[in-house]
Structures are given as structure tokens and as C-alpha cells.
A and B are shown apart, each in its own frame.
Chain A
């Protein structure tokens, strides 16, 4: 039986520059009890389509044509009041940021009751209590959760509450908009499992919106691939993964790096460039560096020495809160260590004089996570490249600066004519991030700290940007510290991997060993939790959330480090 029938749906957004067709001529049927994934880049119209089903398009968007039939009712013809009654009872929505979707001053069960009362005002108190307890139990939350406030729950629990809310009235269709994007990879697996179980139990259809091919492969029955508002491919998930027809789908699938899979990098040049460190002195060294914020220890004492003579990429991997970004800001000198010293070419970063500090800045550069925030919206993007170039004394003339900017753009695969002289908001996230890489290239530092450089960039561009960064090492002799939560990319780009857990080194060594054949339990747990874009591979060994939580708690106590071999020029102790 068809639950949702979308016929020739078109959605327009009138803007100053003309009408933007967010969705064009999209037709799709969803059967009862099936799970369908909407996958595509940001701006491909996946959320817009889903919101149109509930008449919840953001102004000034409007449905320009087509039909949406949900369980025999024409959703577009419903009045405001009729639509209100259908929301939650016929179609429910699980939002992206569950943490921000719950009312902080209401108890969990009161929030669940709100939804029931809005549709069935005569429900008795005892009945409400029974139904909310059932809903919470169905998503695996303990009964006492009902009386708690949102701030007393973890991110995963809050997301479960949102799922419970979505299923209290047994809707025909559940729309889940990237329900796990704010969760870490271990929690993600359990929340997705809960969502699948509860959906199967009430027999509703599920639309899962996302951009992660692996998550889709592990979670849905059918896949709809959207690009620029058009449905380019739709079919069984196995058939799409194994034999994609549309070139865009092929791109999407091949751009997902796999541990043990083929490398997406260009082969290294025959003659590696010379590193530019001072011989005999490590480029960057930590001497028993630790960092404490209040009573939380973000980083336990750690020592390492990175030699600049042979350029290399060292990856620091871990979940959020593992202390990896703290390490990054210590290395950049943005934060002073609580104990120990950070040395750059033998000099303590914290006590440098002005000239040494400028030299340090000149030689240690960074690429940050958020490409949207890195450009001052007041200036044209040139400012971000030109200013440090002049400041560090590389500029000899205006034309030479211009030439250097253009060369750097070309080197990272951007057309200078289309990029320079523009304002940041006119560029996409991917273009901005590549421009930041171009900036690093222009400044030719000895060391580059790349803090999650691709986590906010669309999937199809990630490998391109990582390739650009990898080229900095291969062609320009820049050593790189790559901070990431993504084990698969770390596996491919790095020469050495450090796995951090709660400020401790859990496992360290060359990537083939650490990620390829993990020995530490934490590394194994992380790798188990990654959803692979391969249906047969499955999604880790079945464990419950409590078991995993117990494992993690035990590991936090344990603080064992597994060393897996060394590479020349990098010593960790």
C-alpha cells in the first residue's frame, strides 16, 4: 500500500535574482513500512521536499506545481487547521538538532503530553501517563526519564525523546532530518537502531534525510538521490550501491573513502620535496604538555617531537571531547599549556619575543573547521590572502602579490577570475575551504595544523580538498597535523596516527596498523561504529548502548596506551 505519493512536485523560492527552483518535477511513491533515504548535497532540495509534505516550507518558498497525497489525503489542499491536526498524527518530523528542539523548562513527559493533548483533548491524565511511558520505553529510555528536564539528558537520549515524540500518535509517515548529525559515531549507531526498531513496530514509512552514504546503506531499504532539486536516481539501496546508473550517484559512492579501500590521492611524485626544518632541532615538540580547564583535564601530559626534515602528515583522531582540538590550539599558541612547554624549533612558544613570535606565525599556519567563519564578511576574499602575505614580508609589489594569489588559486583547482575580488558569501563552503588551503600554500609555512578541514564540506568535495592538503606535503614539503574524527580519511592521508580518548593516547602508530588492524579496544569500538557503505558488511557487532557506555567508562579508567611502531622523524613518548 502506498503511504506517500508525490506527483510532479515543484517548489519555487522567489528571490531578488529571480525564481530559484528548489525542487523540480519530483515524483516518488513510498510504500507502508518502507524506509527511504533522501541523499544529496546541501541545497539539493531534500529537506525542502520533506517539509512540503507538512506544509512547513520556509517563506518565501511555495509549491509551484504537483501533488502530495498522504494516505489518500491531498496534503496541499488542507487548510491550516486540518494540516495542524494531521501533523504528528499522520506525519511526524524528527528534527536535526534534537538538543535545541526540546523546551528546556518542561519535563520530558509534559512535552510528550502536549502533542497528544493537541490532537485528543479529552485524554485522561492516567491515559497520558501510560502512553508517554510506553513511548519512552519503545525508544529504550528508562521510566524515570519522564520526570527529567532536557538538560539532564545526554545528546543521544534527547534524540531518543524526539523519536518518542514522533511516534506517540502512530503516524503513517516519519520524516527524520539528519537525526544523528550532532551525535558522535558510537551513539549514532544506537540511535539509528532505535529509530529502525520503533518504525518497524508501528509500521510507518520512514524518510531519512542525510548525506552520509554509509549511514544510508546501513539504515534504509530504498534510496532517492537528489541533485539540484531533481531526483536523479531512485531504487533499492543494494541495487544503487552496487550498480549506480547516474554519474552523480557514482561520484557520491566513490567519494566515500574506505579503510583498506583504494586511495583517492594522487600517486606521490618520484622525488619527494625536501623538508624545510632546521636540521637537528625538532620543528615542533611537546614537553609534558597538559591542559586543564577548571576541573576538567582536556589533555593529560604528553610529549612528542616532530621533525621537519622529511615532510609528513600526522593525524590526531578522536571523538568530540577527546582533546584533539585542544592540542591544535596549544600548537598554534592560542592557548597556553597548564604544564609543560610547547617548543617551535627549540623555542618556547609561550615566552617568545615579538620578532620570534612573528616568525612562528609565519611558519605555523592553520586550516580551520568552519569555512564560513574564516573570512571576514566585511572584506573581499582577497583580504585573507593578501594581508598575511604582506604582513610576513613576502610581497614585493602589488602585481607580484596578485600573481601569487592567482597561482595559489590555480594550484588548488580554483579559477582566480571567478574567485578573487568576490565577497565571502558569494562563494560556496567548498570554495572557501580550498581558498584557505590556497592561503596556506601562498604563505609556505613549515607546519600546517588542519583542524577538521572537511567536516563541514559536502561529501563530494571532501576528497578534493584532502587531495589539495596532501599536495602541500607532497609538492611543497609542508608538514601537516591533521585533526579529525574520521578514521577513514586519516587512514589514507597520514603517515602516523594518534588515537586520543579523553586526553590520553589510546593507540598510536602507522595508519595501516592502527586503523587497519586496531588492537586497543577504543580504536576497535570506533571502527566498529562506522557505518560502511556496504550492506553485507553490517554495522559492527551488536551491542547495547549500556554495554558500550560501560566499555567507554572502563577505558577512561584504564588509560592504557598501545604503541604500534614508529616512523622516522616523529617520536611520541
Chain B
């Protein structure tokens, strides 16, 4: 029933064909591509920066204090120089070096925490949905209770007890608060999938429980898992930055949140040192927009009804 036009295509028809191809291959989703590019941009900043820039400049007093980015002047009338292209902070640390190290660190905490959280979620969600009975009750109640506890409150207490924490430890602590929603989501999907025709067919085919769980069910959960993963990366980063801005994050490793904390502490807002707090905020915004776009894109990939032709 399909028509193949014999005449050369007009511009409008070419555009339609392009949209149709995009419809055909869902991974060519513009939102997904834009979102992924923004996130990769942050990673690239970290990698390329490490190769090209002198990271020694991240130490206190390595440069002049409160130098503005190139093309601007600070309140003392000093102009930006090539030595510190995006300025320095109130302790003489080079902003560019701070961002090169800090931005990937923040992303790392987010990814690490939600990776651990997802793994816990997959295991618990599958167990609850598949085993049922008491096990299901326990896991469900546990995750429901955990979901009502505000993570920041607990983390503030825990971190103030720990004092200085490493990035990994912080990821682990945050992971303790991002496994609940994947658990619930996967449990719900497994419960509805258990009755699906193909799972019944697999049981009829004498398949083992692990075969049904990992070969029949899991592949069909991938879109949900992806979506849930991205959502929990966002939550993890928000939590991590929240802690850092309160001054509770890692003390020796630069992160975006800690830079903002120091800027606020040193009165950067009153002194009009906008680059000090503005640049990390901008990078965080880029990260969140990237994550949001990836999430929206994945939604369209897994749900063809949202795709526009």
C-alpha cells in the first residue's frame, strides 16, 4: 500500500522523508541526541581540560585573587588575563581548573550513586515481584517507608558525623536513597508481566525461573530501566549538590557544589564576583537540561505514541 514517488522530491517532501526516517529509527531522536551531547560535553570538558590546562592552578593562591574572565573588569578595575581565561576565585584558585575537575566529579557522584541504586532496585524489584508473599511484603513496606524519609535530613546528620567524605563514600550514602523508586517500578512491571502471554509460554516451554526473569522479562524492561536510571541520576546530583552547598560534601576535592558554597560564604554575591558562583551554576544547568532531554528522548523511544511525524 506504500507509495514510492517517481518525481524528484520537493523540499517539503524531503523534510517529510527525513522525519519519517527518524520515526523509523527511534534512536535518531533529536531530544536524545541533544541531551547526550550536552552530557558528553561535560565529560569532554573534563578530559580535554586535563590534557590542555595546567591543573596545578586549582590550589589556593596559585593565581591572583578575584580576577574576572577575559573581557570583563572586577570592582578593583583589574581586567581578565589569558593566564586565567574565566577568572579566579576569592582564594586565588583558577576557575577553569576548578570547573575541569569539579564538573566531572559531580557527574561521577550522580552516575555512581544511581548505578548502585539501580542494581539494588533491580534485584529487590525482581525478587519482590517474582517471589511474592512475605518477601514481597517486606520489600514493599521497606521501600515505601524509605520513600517517605527526606534524604537530605538523614544525609546532613550522617555526613556531619563522618566529617570529610570521599566522592565514593558520598555516592554510596546517596545510593541508599535512590533505590526505592526503581524497586517499586520494577516490581510493578514484573507483576504485570508475570501474567503476560509470552511469560506463560516460556513456563509452558519448561523454562527455569532465572531464564524467565533475565531472558524473557529483563529485555522488555530496558526502556523503563533507562528512564528510571536517568531520573535517579538527576535526583542523586541534586542531593549531592545540595549537601555540597551546605558545606557537607568532600572537603579536599573540588566539586561544583563546593565551589558555590565557598562563593556564597565569601560574599561573592555582594562583591559582584558573578563568575565565581555563576559558572558552576551554569554547568549544573547544562547537566540538568542534558539529563532532562535524554529522559524525554528515551520516553519517546520507548513509547512510539509520543513520537511526532
Contact = CB atoms under 8 A, between A and B. Distances in A.
B201 A384 contact: yes
A16 B204 contact: no
Interface in A269-291: none
Interface stretch (B17-25, B51-59, B260-268): B17-25
B200 A334 contact: yes
B3 A388 contact: no
A332 B202 CA distance: 13
B16 A374 contact: no
A16 B21 contact: yes
Interface in A425-450: 436
B30 to A, nearest CB: 16
B270 interface: no
Contacts of B219: 376, 378-379
Interface residues of A, number: 34
Interface stretch (A18-26, A67-75, A217-225): A18-26
A58 to B, nearest CB: 10
A18 B198 contact: no
B197 interface: yes
B2 to A, nearest CB: 3
A362 interface: yes
Contacts of B206: 357-358, 361-362, 388, 391-392
B136 interface: no
Interface string B203-228: 11111000000001001100000000
Interface in B1-51: 1-4, 16, 20-21, 23-24
B3 A18 contact: yes
A391 B23 contact: no
Contacts, number: 80
Given A378-B220, A387-B207, A391-B205, A373 B196 contact: yes
Nearest to B219: A378
A365 B309 contact: no
A141 B4 CA distance: 55
Nearest to B217: A376
A20 B1 contact: yes
A368 B200 contact: yes
A261 interface: no
A427 B274 CA distance: 61
A365 B16 contact: no
A377 B207 contact: no
Given A374-B197, A374-B198, A378-B220, A387 B205 contact: yes
Interface string A9-38: 000001111111100000000000000000
Chain B interface extent, by class: 20 to 34
B70 to A, nearest CB: 49
Given A18-B2, A20-B1, A388 B204 contact: yes
A370 B197 contact: yes
B220 A377 contact: yes
Nearest to B17: A16
Given A20-B2, A21-B1, A15 B197 contact: no
Interface in A363-381: 365-366, 368, 370, 372-379
A60 interface: yes
Interface string A47-82: 000000000000010000000000000000000000
Contacts of B205: 361, 384, 387-388, 391-392
A19 B220 contact: no
A357 B196 CA distance: 21
Contact of A18 (B4, B21, B197): B4
A19 B2 contact: yes
B2 A17 contact: yes
Contacts of A18: 1-4
A370 B197 CA distance: 7
Interface in B165-209: 196-198, 200-207
Contacts of A387: 202, 205, 207
Given A376-B216, A387-B207, A391-B206, A15 B20 contact: yes
Contact of A365 (B1, B2, B24, B204): B204
A21 B197 CA distance: 32
B309 A14 contact: yes
A378 B202 CA distance: 13
Interface in A473-512: none
Nearest to A360: B206
Nearest to A18: B2
A290 B216 CA distance: 32
B204 A384 contact: no
Contacts of A21: 1
B197 A368 contact: yes
A16 B20 contact: yes
Interface in A310-361: 332, 334, 357-358, 361
A334 B203 contact: yes
A16 B23 contact: yes
B20 A19 contact: no
Which of A16, A18, A20, A375 has most chain B Cβ within 10 Å? A16
Question: Which of B3, B4, B23, B205 lies at the interface centre, i.e. has the most chain A CB atoms within 10 A of its CB?
Answer: B205
A332 B24 CA distance: 40
Interface in B282-309: 309
Q: Which 7 A-B pairs rank lowest in CB-CB distance, beginning with the nearest?
A: A18-B2, A373-B197, A388-B205, A378-B219, A374-B197, A376-B198, A361-B206
Interface of A: 14-21, 60, 228, 332, 334, 357-358, 361-362, 365-366, 368, 370, 372-379, 384, 387-388, 391-392, 436
10 contacts: A14-B20, A18-B1, A19-B3, A60-B309, A374-B197, A377-B220, A384-B201, A388-B205, A391-B205, A436-B201
Given A16-B23, A60-B309, A368-B200, 6 more contacts: A21-B1, A332-B204, A357-B206, A361-B206, A373-B197, A384-B205
